[in-house]
Amino acid sequence: MDHQVARQAFLKSVPVMAGYIVLGIGFGILLRAAGYGVLWSLAMAVFIYAGSMQYVGVSLLAGGASVITTALTTFMVNARHLFYSISMIDRYKDAGRYKPYLIFALTDETYSLLCDGRAPSEEEAHRYRFLVSLFNHSYWVTGCVLGSLLGAVLPFSTEGIEFSMTALFIASYTEQWLTSHDHIPALTGLLCTLVSLVVFGPERFLISAMLLITAVLTLLRGRILQELTQGTVPCENPTAEEKNPEEQSPSRGLTQGTVPCVRGEEES
């Protein structure tokens, strides 16, 4: 069973692997160009593990930023984690020894893989989420170290590399749009961000956008839960309980922090 869970977690993380390794290489090259070697790249990948913040961190290190400036910048860049991680509280609350690492490793891409609540089984759910998080982290560390090593031996122009994180966010958004039947959360995020950008400008829109998104999704929470209980999330690798939906009520799936899985007519 352990091997089966590890296999499923690895397959789930494969889409992130290519992106993380490529983006990590970009970060390693930037950090090397700023005069910091492979140990710095390794340490930042292991202990910070925040792609966008690590890219910003290169500028902070090179510019000799103060601790206060670094702390405020980190909060601004990573404030979004405070909002979308709220939806994982029920799923992580009984994770036991896995819980500290699950909290630490909840990046944007890991969240996008785990937010649907699917797992091989209830008994293995926490281990499955832990392994998905660990695989993703290992890809990021590998990419950052490779980038630093490549940057030391090969000449690179670092112009435009910082856009790679934006490209990954766009890819994650597109993937969720294509795989989800309910586009309200995606449209909410897009529209709230655009409104905040227009009202507050590019330097101050992030926090206001997160607050606005949280408020709108809170108001729409009832409708979103109703969509889930009606089986709008497609099945993947159904468990024994999912093969017999009459044995598992929608409310039971929601109270346990998992998304109820009901086959669509096209899959009958």
What is the tens place of the pLDDT at every residue in 172-199?
677 767 777 777 778 888 898 899 889 9
Number of domains in the chain: 1
Residue 239: is its pLDDT beyond 70? no
Residue 165: is its pLDDT beyond 70? no
User: How much is the pLDDT for 264?
Assistant: 39
User: How much is the pLDDT for 232?
Assistant: 44
In this structure, is residue 260 part of a structural domain?
A: no
Residue 263: is its pLDDT beyond 50? no
In this structure, is residue 33 part of a structural domain?
A: yes
Q: Domain limits at 155? A: 2-163
In this structure, is residue 65 part of a structural domain?
A: yes
In this structure, is residue 238 part of a structural domain?
A: no
In this structure, is residue 243 part of a structural domain?
A: no
User: How much is the pLDDT for 15?
Assistant: 87
DSSP the chain: -HHHHHHHHHHHHHHHHHHHHHHHHHHHHHHHHTT--HHHHHHHHHHT--HHHHHHHHHHHHHT--HHHHHHHHHHHHTHHHHHGGGGHHHHTT-GGGHHHHHHT--HHHHHHHTT---S-STTHHHHHHHHHHHHHHHHHHHHHHHHHHHHHS----TTGGGHHHHHHHHHHHHHHHH-S--HHHHHHHHHHHHHHHHH-TTTHHHHHHHHHHHHHHHTHHHHHHHHHTT-SPPSS--HHHHSGGGS-HHHHHHTT-------GGG-
In this structure, is residue 30 part of a structural domain?
A: yes
User: How much is the pLDDT for 105?
Assistant: 92
Find the mean pLDDT for residues 116-140: 89
Answer with the residue of higher pLDDT: 3 or 83: 3
pLDDT tens per residue, range 84-105: 777 788 888 888 899 999 999 9
Residue 268: is its pLDDT beyond 60? no
In this structure, is residue 227 part of a structural domain?
A: no
In this structure, is residue 220 part of a structural domain?
A: no
Nearest to 113 by CA among 90, 93, 88: 88
